[in-house]
Amino acid sequence: MPIRVVDLEWMSQPDFPEAHFALGVLCSQGYGVPKDYAAAFRHFQTAAQAGLTWAQYALAGLYEVGYGTPKDLAQAVHWYRQAAIKDHPGAIHSLGVMYQQGIGAPSDPVEAAALFRRGADLGYPLSTLELAKCYEEGIGVARDHRKARELYFAAAKSKHPSAASAHGAIALLYKEGRLGLPFDETEAAKWYASFSELMREESKARHGDDGSSCS
């Protein structure tokens, strides 16, 4: 029997951080309730302060974009780091991007590459893809085109929805004949087609709506 929003609200006491996280997800996505980022922020914050890793990651994301709370990149870095300490791959990757771009933290290509390597080791394809770019361009690591090529294809093998980005990147490699791959329009078209299909599947998976209320 599915858990109802009213059940989650009843359970959302400080000693039930999982219920707060679940309510945060419902409020941020508009699943069964009107979308309400301010309410989502409150629930994620309560769960994050109680130490729930997924809530720490979600809270960091809201701070980063300024949904439901004023934008605060220093707080985003803080909460990504808290989740990354516990090996949350998305948090590790996001923290790497912050260091890579110097957003909310000093620009540090070496630290960014190290974080992308951690994410890649955990099987997170976006980190694998960014690490491939680091090796291709020699940013934060020594340039290594063979390693970059291997990482691009490793990212594409993942079943994670974000692997679509790797398919698009490989299509471009074939289209431009980079990293020792031949210039091959046919192969590029094949990878572009799989990229498009994965993006369509990801879009379908994001659907959902209804209508109660968040508090």
Cα(110)–Cα(141) distance, rounded to whole angstroms?
Answer: 7
The DSSP-derived string for 55-112 is HHHHHHHHHHHTSSS---HHHHHHHHHHHHHTT-HHHHHHHHHHHHHTSSS---HHHH
For domain 1-86, which CATH number applies: 1.10.3210.10, 1.25.40.10, 1.10.3720.10, 1.10.8.100? 1.25.40.10
Q: Residue 134 in contact with residue 96, Cβ under 8 Å?
A: no
Q: Residue 49 in contact with residue 74, Cβ under 8 Å?
A: no
176: tokens are 């431009």
pLDDT computed for residue 207 by the predictor: 56
pLDDT computed for residue 1 by the predictor: 36
Task: Using DSSP, state whether 127 is helix, strand or coil.
Answer: helix
Neighbours of 81 (CB within 10 A): 17
The residues near 87 (Cβ < 8 Å, ≥ 6 apart) are: 118, 122
Domain residue spans in the chain? 1-86
The closest of 109, 41, 127 to 79, measured between CA atoms, is 41
pLDDT computed for residue 213 by the predictor: 52
Local confidence pLDDT in tens for the 215 residues of the chain: 344 554 555 455 556 888 889 889 989 988 878 899 999 999 999 999 999 999 999 999 999 999 999 999 999 999 999 999 999 999 999 999 999 999 999 999 999 999 999 999 999 999 999 999 999 999 999 999 999 999 999 999 887 777 888 999 999 999 999 999 999 999 999 999 999 988 887 777 665 444 445 66
pLDDT computed for residue 30 by the predictor: 85
